[in-house]
Amino acid sequence: MKFFRFAIFVSALLLAGGSLAQSFPTRPITMIVPYAAGGSAEVVGRLVANDMSKTLGQNVIVELRPGAGGNIGAELVAKSTRPDGYTMLIGSLSLSANVALMKLNFDPRKDLAAVAGLATLPNLMVTGADSPFRTIKEAIATARAKPGQFTYGSSGPGTSSHLTGELLMAAANIELIHVPYKGSGAVYPDLIGGRVNFLFDLMGSALGHVQGGKVRALATTSSRRSAALPDVPTIAESGFPGFEFGAYLALFVPAGTPKDAISRLEEAAAKSIQMPAMRERFAQMAAEPVPVSAEGFQKYFADDVERFMRLVREGRLKPLQ
């Protein structure tokens, strides 16, 4: 009987050891995109997921969970999924900003852990092709003369398209009316039809509309002009020195995820952004690099959270709740 019990004990140890020895991952991984379909986060997320699948030997499945400026999907990953590495979040600027701007049901600084930084993307200030505004200077001068008579759409409160508008209003001393939508894609019909005057959209999402002649680009929020739109000035060179704003894209997992799983995901993500197709796509989006490593991006993220808290303290941004 003792031998029988000992045999069961040894068998259990061997089974446990065999299980632990299996390298992560052993089943498909889900990547939550907390923004609307068709946006830059989904486009980049699908490219990264495809490359990571090849490196990891398991499918990385993209799942859209849009809403509340990215908060619904982020909270799902932070609070409702197991910290085992099998659920990731592709987060963006709203994850940093909303700590200062909103009352959240989770704290991304404590409830999420960085896996890898992917890139930061600038916004384009665009208007309809039939709009009377030809330049950003003309748009600002007219808005200053007629406060509260012009609108700008956004992909939702707390997103980069909303915050860019708020920061430009503060810098230029103008008053625009914010009109939030469920994703930037939903703004374009009204922008093209003249029912909304402006939109600050990520370069990757806006570029096709600009090149298709449906909207006109007035300025970019990057530090330098985009190679894709060399005739479009930066906001900084248009009378607002130092104005620079972008939205990062990065991967996160729930806090408490094993370090070996994070390392494996980090390695696969880093490899993905070096692939020729991904580098070409980032070039089209005028993307700038961010720290790639989990440790490096965790610090970058903490600094970004503090940046928005400082902007609120200085009165350049107002809390949304």
Q: Are 200 and 123 in contact (CB under 8 A)?
A: yes
Q: Over its length of 321 residues, how does the chain's per-residue pLDDT go in tens digits?
A: 433 443 443 344 344 433 433 589 999 999 999 998 888 899 999 999 999 999 999 999 999 999 888 999 999 999 989 999 999 999 999 999 999 999 999 999 999 999 999 999 999 999 999 999 999 999 999 999 999 999 999 988 888 999 999 999 999 999 999 999 988 889 999 999 999 999 999 988 899 899 999 999 999 999 888 888 999 999 999 999 999 999 999 999 999 999 999 999 999 999 999 999 999 989 888 898 999 999 999 999 999 999 999 999 988 888 886
pLDDT tens per residue across span 14-46: 444 334 335 899 999 999 999 988 888 999 999
Closest CA to 96 of 282, 302, 316: 302
Name the strand (E) or helix (H) holding 16: helix 2-21
What Å distances lie between residue 273 and 26, 162, 181, 207, CA to CA? 23, 27, 30, 21
What Å distances lie between residue 184 and 14, 84, 162, 218, 315, CA to CA? 53, 33, 10, 17, 26
Considering just the CA atoms, what is the radius of gyration of the chain in Å?
22
Q: Is 9 helix (H, G, I), strand (E, B) or coil?
A: helix
190-214 burial, b for 16+ CB within 10 Å, e for fewer? Answer: bbbeeebbbbbbbbbbbbebbeeeb
Do 122-238 and 27-121+247-313 fall under one CATH topology?
yes
pLDDT at 283: 87
Query: CATH homologous superfamily of domain 27-121+247-313?
Result: Bordetella uptake gene, domain 1 (3.40.190.150)
128 Cβ contact partners less than 8 Å away, ≥ 6 residues apart: 191, 192, 193, 194, 197, 214, 215, 216
140: buried, middle or exposed (CB in 10 Å: 19+, 13-18, 0-12)? buried
Q: Where do the structural domains in the chain lie, given as residue ranges?
A: 27-121+247-313, 122-238
Q: Domain 122-238 belongs to what topology?
A: D-Maltodextrin-Binding Protein; domain 2 (3.40.190)
pLDDT at 17: 37
